[in-house]
Amino acid sequence: MKKAKFPKNSIYTLIALLIIIGLLAFLQANSSAYSYQISILERSAIYAVVAVSMNLLTGFTGLFSLGQAGFMAIGAYTVAILTIPVESRASVYYVNGISPVIANLHCPFWLALIIAGLLSAAIAALIGIPVLRLKSDYLAIATLGFSEIIRAVIAAPQLDRITNGSYGLKNIPGFPNLFVAFGLCALCILLMVLLINSSYGRAFKALREDEVAAQAMGLNLFRYKQLAFVISSFFTGVSGGLLAMFMRSIEAKTFSINLTYDILLIVVLGGIGSVTGSVLGSFLVTAGREWLRFFDSPLVIAGIQIPLFRSGFRMVIFSILLMVVVLFYRRGIMGNNEFSWDGLKRLIKRIPTALSGGNAAKKGGNVS
């Protein structure tokens, strides 16, 4: 009998995981020396979760929602309120005091994240009843308005004793270590991938392709739309809680419209309908903004100051780079495809052919 061979792709995946774990272990052991790099990676991983949850709704179901910042705010404030140490709350709610309803509420961060997701999902179920009957741009405008309403409610003086109003919340416990942070993010993305590949995911894709045909097949359009909206909001709320743990302090203006636009940029850049595209896009966008910071500092060459190098020039360069990427990858970096080792091999094999083809074209041009 022949022995069953272990698939090569599985070996590659195992090696990649070991490399990632080794890198995380190295960064954790040298956290003080690499704190800046760690913060970039953690923020990227958190944005990857919310980007995949947005892609679940927009790329796989065809619903264009712009309410991500609102659900993230709900999740962030829920986690903050439930995890701030009881003995530290007097120094946090120092202006108007804290409501006795939440004064002694406390739970572990993992339970707080689940509660944050469930609360976001419950609110999504309520607002989904009217807004999911809208389509396209109207749905986007309605959810965007909801996001701003949530931010205004959080900062309202009437809720000072719960949300601390415009003063925000601080002393939020952070991640115990890098493995917990990345493990939670990976778990959220894995659960969404399993959902996308399930029968529910196939129903979502049917809605995206043709609602009339999906309805003719017996699918309840509103039920599946609401299910996708609720699930996406659950993971968006969890990502908001993860962001609160990462930042250690939050305020209402953190969850402005710009945050939703950032997530939308990640989804479009990575590829609408691609989970790996959203993950890749989150790391590229977050890291790219940080690595271009040197453009914000004045540059002097031979005693002459270069006028363009000043505060804000970094975003100009970043925007130009995004335009270049979009011109070459109009459907995003990954399109609607997912990463595979076979695809990576084909890409590597294509590079020499493309280079030799370019050289041949140049030679042909010289001959003519």
Q: What is the mean pLDDT of the chain?
A: 85
Beta carbons of 96 and 157 less than 8 angstroms apart: no
Domains, in order of start, for the chain: 38-350 (1.10.3470)
pLDDT of res. 368: 40
The 10s digit of each residue's pLDDT in 211-267 is 888 888 888 888 999 999 999 999 999 999 999 999 999 998 899 888 998 898 899
pLDDT of res. 211: 83
CA 217 to chain centre: 33
Query: pLDDT-derived band of residue 301, with 50, 70 and 90 as boundaries?
Result: low
Q: Distance between CA 153 and CA 148 in Å, rounded?
A: 9
pTM of the model: 0.88
Whole-angstrom CA distances from 273 to 43, 135, 326 are: 22, 19, 16
The 10s digit of each residue's pLDDT in 91-149 is 888 888 888 888 888 999 999 999 999 999 999 999 998 888 887 788 889 999 999 99
Query: pLDDT-derived band of residue 180, with 50, 70 and 90 as boundaries?
Result: very high
Q: Which residues make Cβ contacts (< 8 Å) with residue 257, sequence separation at least 6?
A: 66, 69, 144, 147, 148
